[in-house]
């Protein structure tokens, strides 16, 4: 329900900043949910999922975004990508009659969290059906937007090289938070002030309207001596995605990789990921399975048993995670 609400609000509100979209969605829910509910937190999580599935786009994905300030969200046109011969991923923002209300799709769209899929009918050429319905087609590769695979060591070496190319400084940055995984705690508990720490850290500081400026920073006694803003110049990825990938590489190289769990019941296999993953990884997991309610994790996915090896291998090889069960 929240995903549908946010899409409807985005249809009439975007382009806009995330906080404006969330504020309007909360206004629409006023009087329908208890004041003490955690709807604001849940709306933020669902908004992140809509960005991950491609319903909403960020400036690096929009050709005319340079005309507007960074940090705005843009509605994607109604689109699809064929995950397999008979299954299509739907994404984009439109009013009800322009997507799910289309005669070709009415009653057929399956909602899996914020994700939407449609399966071919017997004997149907689904790709042709969706084209005729007016949806834009993207290849799976274009939808995934995956970077070239590389080792954690090589990724980190490139990040350090970009950092070393920046001008040295000696400063205390107001509001700066660094991520310190040395204590092996949960994600949110690893963020804190620099104090007197030294070393290489991903860091963030608040910007206007609730956004974060992400960076890679070298600290000496709590003071920033060198920093590189994220995303990197020319990158099409989000700052947080580059930061999270950098942290995954740091932890893998240091011999304490971030983790994911595998659990099973009588009917399904689940992956519980204990650290945030970039959008392209989120989309790859949607190709392999479907997102489900998280279980003591950052995000959880259900995958067919026969694809568990492929999904686990992806997390281990592309994100350098370690399976714990």
Quickly count: other Cβ atoms within 10 Å of residue 225's Cβ: 14
Say how far apart CA 287 and CA 191 lie, in whole Å. 31
Last residue of a domain, one of 116, 144, 172: 144
Residues 237 and 280 in one domain: no
User: Which conformational region is residue 218 in: left (phi greater than 0), alpha (psi within -120 to 50 degrees), or beta?
Assistant: beta
Residues 171 and 246 in one domain: yes
Residues 109 and 45 in one domain: no
Q: Which two tokens stand for residue 318?
A: 């592309």
Give me the sheet containing 212-220, strands edge to edge. 191-192, 177-179, 199-206, 212-220, 223-230
- Please say whether the beta carbons of 56 and 10 come within 8 A: yes
Residues 228 and 160 in one domain: yes
Residues 248 and 264 in one domain: no
Q: What is residue 7's predicted lDDT score, i.e. its pLDDT?
A: 93
Say how far apart CA 178 and CA 205 lie, in whole Å. 9
Residues 20 and 62 in one domain: yes
- Please say whether the beta carbons of 44 and 92 come within 8 A: no
Residues 283 and 220 in one domain: no
Last residue of a domain, one of 219, 253, 287: 253
- Please say whether the beta carbons of 87 and 119 come within 8 A: yes
How would you class 26 by CB atoms within 10 Å of its CB: exposed for 0-12, middle for 13-18, buried for 19 or more? middle
Number of domains in the chain: 4
Closest CA to 163 of 191, 213, 190, 201: 201
Closest CA to 278 of 311, 229, 244, 252: 244
Q: What is residue 99's predicted lDDT score, i.e. its pLDDT?
A: 67
- Please say whether the beta carbons of 198 and 219 come within 8 A: yes
Residue 291: CA count within 13 A, CB half-sphere: 25
Q: What is residue 96's predicted lDDT score, i.e. its pLDDT?
A: 57
Residues 174 and 239 in one domain: yes
- Please say whether the beta carbons of 213 and 239 come within 8 A: yes
Domain that holds residue 14: 2-74
Residues 276 and 214 in one domain: no
Last residue of a domain, one of 102, 120, 144: 144
Residue by residue, pLDDT tens for the chain (325 residues) are 788 899 999 999 999 989 899 999 999 998 787 765 678 888 988 898 899 899 999 866 555 545 556 678 999 999 999 988 899 999 999 875 556 667 788 889 988 878 899 999 999 999 999 999 899 999 999 999 899 999 999 999 999 999 999 999 999 999 999 999 987 678 999 999 999 999 999 999 998 766 789 999 999 999 999 999 999 998 888 899 999 999 999 999 999 999 999 999 877 899 999 999 999 999 999 889 888 888 899 999 999 898 999 999 999 999 999 999 7
Q: What is residue 66's predicted lDDT score, i.e. its pLDDT?
A: 55
Residues 157 and 210 in one domain: yes
Q: Which two tokens stand for residue 237?
A: 């990825």
Q: What is residue 62's predicted lDDT score, i.e. its pLDDT?
A: 55
Q: What is residue 185's predicted lDDT score, i.e. its pLDDT?
A: 76
Residues 156 and 246 in one domain: yes
Task: Please list, in sequence order, all residues whose beta carbon lies within 8 angstroms of the beta carbon of residue 212, skipping any fewer than 6 positions away.
Answer: 204, 205, 206, 239, 240
């Amino acid at each position: 329900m929240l995903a549908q609400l946010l899409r409807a609000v985005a249809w009439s509100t975007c382009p806009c900043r995330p906080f404006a979209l969330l504020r309007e969605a909360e206004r629409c829910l006023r009087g329908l949910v208890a004041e003490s509910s955690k709807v604001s937190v849940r709306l933020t999580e669902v908004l992140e999922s809509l960005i991950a599935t491609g319903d909403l786009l960020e400036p690096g994905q929009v050709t005319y975004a340079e005309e507007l300030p960074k940090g705005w969200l843009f509605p994607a046109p109604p689109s699809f990508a064929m995950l397999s011969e008979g299954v299509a991923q739907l994404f984009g923002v439109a009013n009800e009659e322009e997507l799910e209300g289309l005669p070709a799709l009415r009653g057929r769209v399956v909602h899996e969290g914020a994700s939407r899929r449609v399966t071919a009918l017997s004997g149907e050429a689904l790709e042709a059906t969706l084209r005729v319905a007016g949806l834009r087609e993207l290849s799976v590769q274009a939808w995934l937007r995956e970077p070239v695979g590389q080792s954690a060591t090589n990724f980190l070496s490139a990040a350090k090289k970009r950092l070393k190319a920046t001008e040295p400084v000696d400063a205390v940055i107001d509001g700066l938070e660094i991520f310190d995984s040395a204590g092996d705690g949960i994600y949110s508990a690893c963020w804190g002030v620099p104090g007197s720490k030294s070393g290489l850290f991903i860091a963030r500081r608040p910007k206007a309207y609730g956004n974060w400026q992400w960076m890679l920073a070298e600290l000496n006694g709590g003071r920033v001596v060198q920093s590189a803003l994220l995303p990197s110049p020319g990158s099409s990825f989000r700052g947080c995605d580059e930061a999270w990938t950098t942290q995954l590489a740091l932890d893998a190289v240091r011999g304490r990789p971030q983790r994911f769990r595998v659990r099973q019941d009588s009917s399904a296999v689940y992956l519980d990921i204990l650290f945030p993953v970039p959008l392209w990884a989120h989309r790859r997991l949607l190709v392999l399975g479907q997102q489900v309610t998280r279980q003591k994790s950052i995000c959880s996915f259900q995958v067919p048993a026969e694809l568990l090896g492929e999904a686990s291998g992806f997390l281990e090889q592309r994100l350098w995670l370690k399976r714990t069960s």
